[in-house]
Structure 1
Amino acid sequence: MSTSTVRCQAIGSLLRPGHLVSARAEFKAGRITPAEVKAAEDRAAVEALRLQEAAGLDVVNDGEMRRSSFMDHLLATVPGALDHEAPIEAGDEAGGAYTVDNPIVVVERITPARNIGVEEYVYLRGRTDRPIKITMPSPLMLYAFWSAERSRAAYPDPFDLFADWTALLRAQIEELAALGCTRVQIDAPDMALLVDEEQRRQREALGISVDRTIADGCALIDSLAATPGVSVSLHLCKGNFRSMWAASGGYDLLAKQIFDRTPHVDAYLLEYDDERSGDFAPLTALPDDKSVVLGLVSTKRDEVEPLDALLARVGDAARYVGRDRIGVSPQCGFASIAAGANLISPATQAAKLFRVAELAAAL
């Protein structure tokens, strides 16, 4: 299946089922073994796969059931390089609380670590005949871990840190490709948040240039997309935690710059679930050989969008880019951070995935 024929897909994370939430709580309390919590992850991954297949999605993943965050590829790499402040309390999906380390800054060079995508891909590979994608965080997500005062001994320039992470991520993608994985999605809230003026101001206050973030960031992402044999898509996310968002603004500032500077990216997955995303006019800059996946179905609202309203929105988008290059999806994951799952029910989640496939079929 070529990129151009992928009409419907989920973005990444799905709500973790109750049995998995309970198993992780039991494991943390020391009442079950690592093998038992792993079995719960296996069961949840298959359930996520079967839901996507039943809905009729073209591309599937494991719902990120083995992760606590969409950034686990990153977090598995940098812990030894981080300095922490006092632990903080966070809420979990079961309504309880747990203690987490609060990472402050990178203080040492980052080093290679376990490639969690390998387990995700290999486990699904023998259980479905549909294309499988593995999601990974953008290399620039480390911007939140760099400090002008405390990181300079290891990384005088934050973009040296981003380049190191890019090299590690490229090695992970190459390892996946060697196993037969042909689809990778890069999740880039680091780029998408820049649509918001306040987010741009905050980034500059960190000592990280917005202009350089776009220019150098696109170059780093494109170097990942150039991995032979792998189709790479780029998801621009504007925040996703307990049905809340972090940025508001259209793609006018970013679209052409990102499209032009990432020639090896095959498809762009864009949030378009409400007025925060602006209109579809920026899609006129989409190169002729690229496709766009419109995130029209919200993962934040516990209501299923009417099919006719979604079709009308696709019609609006088709004024700027051909229908043959339009795919559809939810706007983001349903639980990008497990403890910050969006406030919708599993039944609504399933109905929304079915609606995405129904919309694609209606096109």
Structure 2
Amino acid sequence: MANKLPLKGDHVGSFLRTESIKQARAAYAKGEIDKASLKEVEDREIEKLVQKQIEAGLKTITDGEFRRIIWHHDFFSGFEGIELIKNERKATFGGGHKPKPITIVITDKIKNHHHYMIEHFKFLKKAVDKYGDGTQVAKFAIPAPSVIMYRSINEKEKEIYPNAIDMFHDLGVAYREVVNALYEAGCRYIQFDDTTFTGFNDPTFTKRMMDSTGLSKDKILDLIIKTTNDALQDKPEDLITTVHMCRGNFRSNHLHTDGDYAYVAPIFDQLHYDAFFLEYDDERSGGFGPLKYIQRRDVEIVLGLITSKFPELEDPFVIKERIKEASQFIPLENLAISPQCGFASSEEGNVLTEEEQWKKIKHMIQIADRVWRKVSVNK
């Protein structure tokens, strides 16, 4: 039996940027305010966000990724040997939407040296301790190591890392050091966001991974598993680590093609995570059948049954029935629910209002409470 997560109604981490954040970041981009002034606004808005999450009933509290342009590039640029640059990205989401023209490039051997986001976590932890009642936990979301696949590869990188395996080895070491640094800073819940696993259903994405690494599809998957577990090699027993297997999310549109989890579900037992967040908010994710491959009973499967893309509230009866259906493959006590993704994977955010966002969160918590409170009472 798992039950490591603080609440059966969890969330993925990012929230819609407030108007104050948007204005401050725009002013900073124009050179109208300095970095210190921007940080003052971010600090103030994150404290407000922490309070709103607690008021909504959440037990896992994040900083909403308010300091980030986009969920992954900002983090990778915190490693030595990786730089954030302006460059047109190949990714195109549903509806033809394209994210900001930024990407990362490898400029030297990858190393960790006082990753700047450790300070971001410390501020979050301080705010949770200040406004919480001791039952909340500060959760920090970072991209999974495999997300390094989403980058521009130039001739310089090929000289630095002629072998993709060596690059992933260095990345795994750097991640392990960040995980340890977060733990030492008081972090007890790290969520890894991973878009590569669901990408294996996309022939175009798979070909791009194979071309960039020179490896077969199965060998890439093996490399991702190894690098992930290397990052978690020294994980303390009381550190919760989860993975959100995302299908891409930008302005309420997705990136990857349709397909269920049948290809990757058999390897879930090999990954050293405590819980798996899976997107199940529409037919694109397929059915729950692939969950039968998960034999571990020390993990939780978090069903992303609530959409973060649109404001309409899901029918509680339908959600309960879907949870019941999933429980045919995973015991109910090993299940939980969440939105299928964050509300703002990038600073642009999804197409709904802040008020609608909080209604979604409260709606999800109410459903979870009714489902699992009944289970506890029946026991």
Normalised to the residue count of structure 2, the TM-score between the two structures is 0.85
Q: 2:170 corresponds to which letter in structure 1?
A: D
Cα distance, 1:147 vs. partner? 3.4
Q: Distance in 1 between matches of 2:35 and 2:83?
A: 26
Secondary structure, aligned partner of 2:181: helix
Paired residue for 2:36?
A: 35
Identity fraction in percent: 28
Displacement of 1:201 in angstroms is: 3.1
Structure 2: how far apart are the matches of 1:145 and 1:350?
33
Structure 2 residues without counterparts, runs of 5 or longer: 90-98, 372-379
Distance 1:113 1:87, change over 3 A: farther
Amino acid at match of 2:342: G
1:52-109 Cα offsets, whole Å, 9 max, x none, are: 212212311111112222112212226x545967679xxxxxxxxx985554x42422
**Count, aligned residues:** 350
Matched, 1:255 2:272: no
Describe how 1:155-194 pairs up with structure 2 within 5 A: 155-194=161-200
CA shift in 2, pair 1:83/1:356, >3 Å: closer
**CA distance in 2 between partners of 1:346 and 1:4 (Å):** 25
Q: Deviations over 1:260-305 (max 9, x none)?
A: 221x211111111110101011112221221111111111123221
Match of residue 94 from structure 1: none
2:318 aligned residue (291, 306, 309): 309
SS at match of 1:11: coil
The answer to whether the 8 Å contact 1:250/1:276 transfers is yes
Q: Is residue 195 from structure 1 mapped to residue 216 from structure 2 by the alignment?
A: no
* Residue 216 of structure 2 is aligned to residue 209 of structure 1: yes
- Over residues 98-135 of structure 1, what are the superposed CA-to-partner deviations in whole Å (9 max), with x where a residue is unaligned? 985554x4242223244244223222323333011111
What is the alpha-carbon distance in structure 2 between the residues aligned to residue 316 and residue 21 of structure 1?
41
Supply the AA of the counterpart residue of 2:290. Answer: P
User: Which residue matches 2:76?
Assistant: 74
Q: Deviations over 1:6-29 (max 9, x none)?
A: 312210110100001101112222
Instruction: Check conservation: 2:244, 2:277, Cα contact below 8 A.
Output: yes
Q: 1:222 aligns with which of 222, 229, 234?
A: 229
Instruction: Please point out which of 127, 135, 138 is paired with 2:141.
Output: 135
What stretches of structure 1 of length at least 5 have no aligned partner?
Answer: 89-97
* Cα distance in structure 2, aligned partners of 1:195 and 1:99: 25
Contact 1:267–1:293 (CA<8 Å) still a contact in 2? Answer: yes
TM-score in terms of structure 1 length: 0.88
**How many Å separate the matches in 2 of 1:237 and 1:87?**
22
**Cα shift readout 1:337-363 (whole Å, capped 9, x = no counterpart):** 113x21111111111111111111011
Tell me how far apart the structure 1 counterparts of residues 116 and 85 of structure 2 sit (CA, whole Å). Answer: 23
- Alignment CA distance shift 1:102-1:62 (3 Å): closer
Structure 2: how far apart are the matches of 1:289 and 1:148?
42
RMSD between aligned residues: 2.5
DSSP-derived class of the 1:108 partner: strand
User: In the alignment, which of 266, 273, 293 is matched to residue 274 of structure 2?
Assistant: 266
Inter-CA distance 124–148: structure 2 relative to 1 (3 Å threshold): closer
Per-residue deviation at 1:149? 5.2
Are the structure 2 counterparts of residues 302 and 7 from structure 1 closer, same or farther at C-alpha, using a change threshold of 3 Å?
A: same
Structure 2 equivalent of residue 350 of structure 1? 358
Deviations 1:208-259 (A, max 9, x none): 43212211211211222341242211110010111111112100011012x1
